[in-house]
Structure 1
Amino acid sequence: MQNFFQGFFQFGYVTRDVDAAVAAFREKFGPVEFAVNEPPAIDGQAAPTRRIALAWIDDVMTEIIEPDPMQKTIYDDHVPAAEGPIRLHHFGYLIDDHQAMLDRLKGMGYDVPMAGSMAGVLDYSYADTRCDLGMWSEFIRLDEGGKAFFGAVPRTMTRVK
């Protein structure tokens, strides 16, 4: 069985406005290139996010999520009061077996209020681990399309390997 924390790869943040957040991030932390996209519908439902900015910084992905304010989402309690800032929402983990992780999360007593699949791309789930970890946990299983998508995310190297 996969260690719960194995596969860590991502800091997930939320913001009111992705453009303002990316600009503030760059101003504070330096030139980081982000890919900004508008998520498609998931399982026939409108995505709970309007836009997402992704960047690899060394081997860790930074994700900045702009939730859809017209929907009630798991992101709502973390949205900063002003445009520009970001607020930590979740840690992301890459996994090999999505159903096994869902079963494990259920066995551990964690609610999984948001999960879905994008055929040929990925399966994902958000577990409410706030009671034990202080934040949400996202678990993602990548198909070939997801591996290609993540591979195309811009990468900023801050250290020499």
Structure 2
Amino acid sequence: MRNFFSGFFQLGYVTRNVSVAIAAFREKFGPIEFLINDPTSIDGKAPPTRRIALAYIDDVMTEIIEPDPAQKTIYDDALPAVEGPIRLHHFGYLIDDHAAMLERLRNMGYAVPLHGSVPGALDYSYADTRADLGVFSEFIRLDEGGRAFFNTLPRTSTR
């Protein structure tokens, strides 16, 4: 079985307002272009997020999540007190077998408070690894649609 940390590809942040956070990010770090996604319902339920900004900086994806304030979410504890800043919430890992990873996480004693599927795109799960790593860990298995979507994301090279 692969090392737990194999497939690292993403730094996941949370914020109170994606637009304000992107403006602050660009002011500090330069002209990074983001794709902003407005999630639709997942498995027939309202998504826990209002907006998600995505961009690759070199080979690492930066994700900035604006949770839905009307819901209790796994993002709430990491939210900054004011609009503008971002706070690290999770590390993201690409995996090949979602069911096997869920079983592995259970065997390791990690709760998986959020998981689901976007048919034709991806399966995802968030493991509560905060006690050991300080942040959640997100595991994503991509289908063709997910790979195609990730390939459309803006890329900034620092090299």
TM-score, normalized by length of structure 1? 0.98
Match of 1:40 in 2: 40
Between the two proteins, the alignment pairs up a number of residues equal to: 159
- Displacement of 1:152: 0.4
Match of 2:120 in 1: 120
In the alignment, structure 1 segments of 5+ residues that lack a partner are none
Query: Following the alignment from structure 1 to structure 2, what is the Cα–Cα distance between the partners of residues 69 and 146?
Result: 27
- Displacement of 1:124: 0.1
In the alignment, structure 2 segments of 5+ residues that lack a partner are none
Q: Report the AA paired with residue 91 of structure 1.
A: F
- Displacement of 1:3: 1.1
Superposition misfits of 4+ residues, deviation over 6 angstroms: none
Backbone CA RMSD of aligned residues: 0.4
Q: Which secondary structure does the structure 2 equivalent of 1:25 belong to?
A: helix
Structure 1 residue 30 corresponds to structure 2 residue 30: yes
Query: Following the alignment from structure 1 to structure 2, what is the Cα–Cα distance between the partners of residues 32 and 145?
Result: 24
Query: Following the alignment from structure 1 to structure 2, what is the Cα–Cα distance between the partners of residues 102 and 111?
Result: 10
Match of 2:17 in 1: 17
Query: Following the alignment from structure 1 to structure 2, what is the Cα–Cα distance between the partners of residues 151 and 2?
Result: 24
Query: Following the alignment from structure 1 to structure 2, what is the Cα–Cα distance between the partners of residues 108 and 15?
Result: 30
- Pairing 1:130-145 to 2, within 5 Å after superposition: 130-145=130-145
Q: Which secondary structure does the structure 1 equivalent of 2:5 belong to?
A: coil
Post-superposition Cα deviations, 1:45-91, rounded to whole Å, max 9, x if no partner, equal 11100000000000000000000000000000011111110000000
Query: Following the alignment from structure 1 to structure 2, what is the Cα–Cα distance between the partners of residues 151 and 43?
Result: 24
Q: Which secondary structure does the structure 1 equivalent of 2:110 belong to?
A: coil
